Amino acid sequence: MSTAVLQARGVRKSFGHTEVLSGIDLDVTPGETVVVLGPSGSGKSTFLRCINLLESLDAGRITVDGRDVGYDVRNGRLHELSPNEIARRRKDIGMVFQQFNLFPHMTALENIIEAPIAVLGEGRREATARAVDLLAEVGLAGREKAYPRQLSGGQQQRVAIARALAMRPKLMLFDEPTSALDPELVGEVLATMKRLASAGLTMVVVTHEISFAREAADRVVFMDAGQVVEQGTPEQVIDNPQHERTRAFLSRFL
Amino acid sequence: MATTVQDAPAAGLELDVRNAAHRKHPWRWLSALVVLVFAAQLVKMLITNDNFGWDVVWSWLRAESIVRGLGITLMLTVVAMVIGVVLGVLLAVCRISANPLLRGAAGLYIWFFRGTPTLVQLIFFYNLSALLPKLNLGIPFGPVFASVDTNTLITPLLAAILGLGLNEGAYMAEIVRGGLLSVDPGQREAGQALGMKNSRIMKRIILPQAMRFIVPPTGNQVISMVKATALVSVIALSDLLYTAQSIYNRTFETIPMLIVVCLWYLAVTSVLYVVQSFIERHYNRGARHQAPSFWDFLRIRPKGSAA
Ligand SMILES: Nc1ncnc2c1ncn2[C@@H]1O[C@H](COP(=O)(O)OP(=O)(O)O)[C@@H](O)[C@H]1O
Ligand SMILES: [Mg+2]
């Protein structure tokens, strides 16, 4: 296949009788930061969740690093994989959730080392050393022993980012990572994400932070009603939108 | 009214809640007094009524036969609870699995064992040979690999263990299922997104969090089980109660022997209560609310409350 980290072709998904994704095409190349904008309910979260198979697709195909997460190709046909094999393929895709979803019964450090030990087979000492570095990288040096509840929302989300990074993902998905935060805490999380973007991490970011899209995105994708309406550089899509739906959406942020 | 409003600012901002007079609790003190009077009455009766036969109680309390009966009771409790918990976790996982056959089978099991009296189940297992004289291991309608006489296999002890354990499994299944459902689905998704296997997610992420909701009702179940084992006296298994009964059938010291039994049950359940409070504290790591300490019931003014 090509050099794209993520390739989505004709992705469709329905819940009951309502079609939430109506044929999504998207390519993401290595090191690229793609920001997905769009009104609430347009299917942004569903699309991200299809990428790491938290939701199954009804039609179309998604490959990450040239491989389907949920299927093997044999004799020119896709064959469904077992849950354990799917789990193994998910390890290359990091995900950061709106509600953080940290493990509340584990300290920050334990949150970060759990999957590297369980999935990558890293030794505890090695995983711990790396977790300490990662915490420092997201500005939380010395908070190894804190439980999630003892941290602010912004700090929790940065631990969640460190937890995802500990798996050395080839692709990171962010689903409205700052939407659950108090306004004064949004900046610290966005600053962390900007650093990751300029360090060359491949990222797909769903957000309503237009300023982040402007400063960090290589490409902006506007989604509405389960379709990609338009995409391009931040200047093209944000400053000079071609479609009425994009203009209507962006006018709310002026 | 008007004067107080005017006085308030004049009274000055130098006042400090730190030095505020605590609210008086006259009713708490009065009710404590009433309780004390009743308690004194009770103590007087316990001491002066000879029918309690405290000397008899004391002499039997550590008698060898009673202690052996207690041993049977404790052993039954532990074995039946272990079976109950293991079975309960399996049934609960079946109940929430994607496989409709497993869901149905687990539901049927729980329906049956919760819907019929434990006592009847015990007697049923005890009399299993009347229904199935031989237990066979083999393929239905096909060859039999092994066969054993039911009466040699199902001793009273095994009947008791099966009756209590299989019954407990049904109750534990519902407790465990409630605990699993109380964990935010985002927790499982976070584990999946990290590439963890389902079994590992269950063991490391879901169960430890569900334990906060599973431990308190399970403590109840253990305490119920200690007492439920007394049911096995109907199938002539010499547990604590059966032993005491066979003694007072000879000596006619019914009340003292029953007091011996009660004292032992109370001792065991008290120990369990303390153990439970330690386990609860362990599983409350990282949680907002700490489990209450064992001694909290002694406080007139509860810790951390405004009243
Ligand atoms: N698990 C689900 N079951 C049923 N409907 C769902 C489910 N998840 C999302 N939806 C619906 O799909 C639509 C798109 O949701 P979502 O992808 O969360 O949009 P967005 O993230 O863009 O706000 C919404 O109408 C939502 O109600
Ligand atoms: Mg969303």
ipTM of model: 0.94
Rounded distance between C-alpha atoms, residue A143 and residue A147, angstroms: 9
B194 CB within 8 Å of a chain A CB: yes
C-alpha A226 – ligand 2 centre gap (Å): 12
Q: Which has more confidence, B191 or B227?
A: B191
Contacts of A91 in chain B (CB under 8 A): 194-195
Å between A133 CA and nearest CA of chain B: 19
Q: Is the pLDDT of residue B50 over 90?
A: no
Q: Do A114 and B195 touch (CB under 8 A)?
A: no
Amino acid at residue number A65: D
Q: What is residue B141's predicted lDDT score, i.e. its pLDDT?
A: 82
Sequence-distant (6+) residues with CB within 8 A of B276 are: B215, B216, B219, B222
When mean pLDDT is compared over B15-24, B187-196, B227-236, the highest value belongs to B187-196
Q: For residue range B202-216, what is the model confidence (pLDDT) as tens digits? A: 999 999 999 989 999
Q: What is residue A208's predicted lDDT score, i.e. its pLDDT?
A: 95
The DSSP 8-state label assigned to residue A31 in this structure reads T
Contact (Cβ atoms closer than 8 angstroms) between residue A114 and residue B208: no
Rounded distance between C-alpha atoms, residue B144 and residue B59, angstroms: 55
CA atoms within 13 A on the CB side of B84: 25
Q: Is the pLDDT of residue B287 over 90?
A: no
The total of other beta-carbon atoms located within 10 Å of residue B302's CB is: 11
Rounded distance between C-alpha atoms, residue B27 and residue B300, angstroms: 11
- Taking Cα atoms as reference points, which of A202, A206, A155, A161 lies closest to residue A181? A155
| Predicted confidence band of residue B307 (pLDDT cuts 50, 70, 90) | very low
Q: What is residue B155's predicted lDDT score, i.e. its pLDDT?
A: 85
| Predicted confidence band of residue B69 (pLDDT cuts 50, 70, 90) | very high
Nearest to B286 among A101, A118, A147 (CB): A147
- Taking Cα atoms as reference points, which of B226, B224, B184, B225 lies closest to residue B206? B184
Q: What is residue B282's predicted lDDT score, i.e. its pLDDT?
A: 85
Q: What is residue B303's predicted lDDT score, i.e. its pLDDT?
A: 54
Q: For residue range A132-170, what is the model confidence (pLDDT) as tens digits? A: 999 999 999 999 999 999 999 999 999 999 999 999 999
B64-95 and B240-251 helices cross at what angle (nearest 10)? 150
Q: What is residue A1's predicted lDDT score, i.e. its pLDDT?
A: 45
Q: Is the pLDDT of residue B305 over 70?
A: no
Which of B99, B194, B202 to probe the A interface (max A CBs under 10 A)? B194
Q: Is the pLDDT of residue A218 over 70?
A: yes
- Looking from the CA of residue A55, the nearest atom of ligand 1 is 1
Q: Which whole number is the average pLDDT over B117-126?
A: 91
How far lies B208's CA from each of A30, A163, B180, in Å? 38, 19, 10
In chain B, count H helices and then E strands.
14, 2
Å between B280 CA and nearest CA of chain A: 13
Q: Is the pLDDT of residue A189 over 80?
A: yes
Q: What is residue B285's predicted lDDT score, i.e. its pLDDT?
A: 75
Amino acid at residue number B46: L
Beta-ladder partners of A62: A8
Distance of CA A197 to the CA centre of its chain: 12
Q: What is residue B299's predicted lDDT score, i.e. its pLDDT?
A: 62
A130 CB within 8 Å of a chain B CB: no
Q: Do A97 and B186 touch (CB under 8 A)?
A: yes
Rounded distance between C-alpha atoms, residue B281 and residue A123, angstroms: 29
| Predicted confidence band of residue B234 (pLDDT cuts 50, 70, 90) | confident
Q: Is the pLDDT of residue A233 over 50?
A: yes
Rounded distance between C-alpha atoms, residue A138 and residue A161, angstroms: 8
Q: For residue range A36-58, what is the model confidence (pLDDT) as tens digits? A: 999 999 999 999 999 999 999 99
Q: Select from A46, A51, A175 the residue to mutate for testing ligand 1; criterion: most ligand atoms less than 8 Å from CB.
A: A46
Q: Is the pLDDT of residue B67 over 90?
A: yes
Q: Which whole number is the average pLDDT over B148-166?
A: 87
